[in-house]
Chains A and B, each alone.
Chain A
């Protein structure tokens, strides 16, 4: 963290993509940064928050991405440079405001960083956010490596101020979470003054009120187009677009984002530097027409390499169609023609294969016999690892109780799922409890709908779950909807005191803020009671009490909220501190016998419990066990002992 601001200007540091983005923002003199945690974007605000005192910044984990964008926009309107960061789906949440923001424009430089997740390493989708730039008409920059992560971010603030509009930077997991050498620039002074000027007329972008009304949509929209044209002009000479290769390449690769590195590696691997040209684009919307024309003229075959959707490809192909009489007819390869798959992420091998196929050139691969043998061995020697709740995770206990109750109730009840670690409850680690899983807050929205279908004969009990952070993000309006419309549902709020999946960031339920200072905590059960729900609060580690509370709740009509409060096993407060020392009494363990059949290792499946195939008994793995003590409650033979840890 300290390398972010302590290293000297001109020195080289090994920085993670997100760290480089944060450094770039600092070098640009950013003063306000807001974000909602979302992998792979969370480290951007995490890093800025860490230096907020030293660099005189205001940093905030906002309640959701729309509010985060609004918070950053406010800073921009008051004349400060501001940054808002989010994962790809966050842009969807911010979209309504983003549309209006882009229409009326900005003052202080405002940069929106969207970190996408091709291949969905930590997402429930691999959605794209680049089309928002085109749809809502603001410029888009894509970082191609770690140095650019810093430099482009720094320049983006300048660009934003030149055209007076928001600028979007797009990153992907393989850049945001990877690290590379970055030469650092200078950090500016930290003073800043904020003032929101609004006395002038509505048409004055810098000193008038910032109001979108029907009457100004026409002039504002036209003004917006002018801004795009200006950006395109600036893009023509941008140092972030570059070409390397022969003057008349047989194949021109046009690429953006991390695919620049993949393409570079592919060309080197195949030794075709003299045959293939590489046009690396950072300014991917609006595309600079003269630059594009120049390079499209150089080759007849063009391979476009980009992550996720053929956004760049479609735009380039449309441009080529429009300018065909000037540049000639081209053959395009990419996603549209099946050269690259439309789903999942790319990698250097795919680019090697694509170029290989187009130019009919090949590289030596490893021996076929090796590949076959390695596959055989892997089938025996590398059992797959399914994702699981951590040892000591309160969600395991919560879903144990929820599944118990739904089965006891025996009316095919189900749980609508939401986003967070507990989303894994759709799988075996959560006893397959979740039967729907979509976006932030969707569980309660769907449940609100399901809970009104009783009139059509649906008598299945309806549960929704959400985390404490998710509650503030999007669940509250859906909960109000359910209460007002008298849906019959039970919402279980899994309060583990943090935004856990993304790295345990703060949220409005806690009394600390992003910078580690004191803040106001909002009482979740209090809010639900004020809304009018019947509310219960339990510790999910108390299996009996939780189960009974849930059983009692589902007897009632209307909206019930049960808050299961127990801190995340990975929280800094709790980390590595065991409440109990656990051990299995082998003389009592029933193992595979009728009466148990390995309930703890076969069903409960906490990683801290191991089935010993030699002794045919369960055993506690002391290294992995977190000492939460829950397994004591579930063992039917009372064989799992717990003692208060020293």
Chain B
């Protein structure tokens, strides 16, 4: 993996409009901070190599390295990434009633992990008004405050960075594909520190097509909505084509075309729809609003899901084949579009000395992804 410093981060990510505000560089040090969804550098830092650059999921991401670490094999570019089994699931009887997104599986998994001590702190994303917040939950009950989906790019990994400094050693992280990628890079000890220890023991990835820029969304909505009264936000599956905001005073629908311009540039080169580097990946189950799709990828993930199901924190059933096919197709499409976009912008496997690649993968693999028929 090529690791550079914060100047390279500014030049290759910020100045190219690729920053998605995932928080991977935030609170590692005094220089990068996030405010209202935007990450900024407060003062100049001249280190030639830094963790900020190493962890960032939008520059010099080495897909082979990620794949070798997780699977022992190079990156093959399959639509959904590697996984053990796919199930449909929802929160089980043991989960208290609450406001969840879809099946509430993510909240259930995290609450279960905390209650069984598998995890000592959960890195979760909250919301204040329309702005996302990064937080740590240490008790199962705390998880519910973070429930429901946030569609704005959130600096979640900042909470992980804080948690590591505070001494938590078995953390669970819930994140979007870019955030999970950052976590995976972090866990590989890219700066080769002698006293590095892995403080993360569970990653739950979310399905994601794109996120929205917080500030732009706030600007659009703040006179249409009292942000203090927002309960949850949702993007129902096509053909709905709307962004839904549920508030205490009722529901507001915004046409998706009004918000597409708020998608950060970094989302457009993201080839990962289902968080391929997580232990467990969770998304909606198309056609069944109260359920989630769950991809159980690793042994760790399998162990937790099975145990949670047995202890009635989760309820799982077979995933309908049709859904899996659709999921494959949608994921392949995102991957293809993203890799093509990256290639077109000179961000794929860049060889130039002055510019860095955002994504690095085997050229044959990249060609295969691009050449795949949408079908």
Binding site for B on A (CB under 8 A): 403-404, 407-410, 431, 551, 592, 594-597, 599, 603, 634, 636
Binding site for A on B (CB under 8 A): 28-31, 33, 35, 38, 40-47, 49-52, 191
Tell me the bound Cα distance from A636 to B29 in angstroms.
7
Tell me the bound Cα distance from A404 to B32 in angstroms.
10
A598 to chain B, nearest CB (A): 9
Tell me the bound Cα distance from A306 to B61 in angstroms.
68
A603 touches B40 (CB 8 A): no
Tell me the bound Cα distance from A410 to B46 in angstroms.
20
A594 touches B49 (CB 8 A): yes
Identify whether the interface residues of B are mostly helix, strand, loop, or mixed: loop
B50 touches A634 (CB 8 A): no
A597 to chain B, nearest CB (A): 5
Tell me the bound Cα distance from A404 to B29 in angstroms.
14
Tell me the bound Cα distance from A409 to B40 in angstroms.
8
Given that A407-B41, A594-B50 are contacting pairs, would A551 and B29 also be in contact in the complex, using a CB cutoff of 8 Å? no
A543 to chain B, nearest CB (A): 11
B42 touches A408 (CB 8 A): yes
Among A409, A431, A592, A595, contact of B43 (Cβ-Cβ < 8 Å): A431
B51 touches A409 (CB 8 A): no
Tell me the bound Cα distance from A345 to B170 in angstroms.
68
Tell me the bound Cα distance from A596 to B41 in angstroms.
13
Chain B minimum-CB-distance residue to A405:
B35
Chain A minimum-CB-distance residue to B37:
A410
Chain A contacts for B29, CB-based, 8 A? 594-597, 599, 636
Tell me the bound Cα distance from A131 to B113 in angstroms.
82
B151 to chain A, nearest CB (A): 21
Tell me the bound Cα distance from A280 to B324 in angstroms.
100
Tell me the bound Cα distance from A368 to B105 in angstroms.
85
Chain A contacts for B30, CB-based, 8 A? 596, 599, 634, 636
Of A403, A595, A603, A636, most B-chain CB atoms within 10 Å: A595
B347 to chain A, nearest CB (A): 23
Tell me the bound Cα distance from A436 to B191 in angstroms.
41
A594 touches B40 (CB 8 A): no
A-B contact pairs, 19 of them (CB 8 A): A407-B33, A408-B35, A408-B42, A409-B40, A410-B38, A431-B43, A594-B29, A594-B49, A594-B50, A594-B52, A594-B191, A595-B28, A596-B30, A597-B31, A597-B45, A599-B30, A599-B43, A603-B44, A634-B30
Tell me the bound Cα distance from A264 to B283 in angstroms.
91
Chain B contacts for A592, CB-based, 8 A? 47
Counting from the closest, the 5 A-B pairs by CB-CB distance are: A408-B35, A410-B40, A407-B42, A595-B29, A594-B50
B35 touches A551 (CB 8 A): yes
Chain B minimum-CB-distance residue to A638:
B165
A404 touches B42 (CB 8 A): yes
Tell me the bound Cα distance from A571 to B235 in angstroms.
61
Chain B contacts for A596, CB-based, 8 A? 29-30
Given A407-B42, A597-B29, A636-B30, 19 other A-B contacts at CB below 8 A? A403-B43, A407-B40, A408-B33, A408-B35, A408-B42, A409-B40, A410-B38, A431-B43, A594-B49, A594-B50, A594-B52, A595-B29, A597-B31, A597-B45, A597-B47, A599-B29, A599-B31, A599-B43, A636-B29
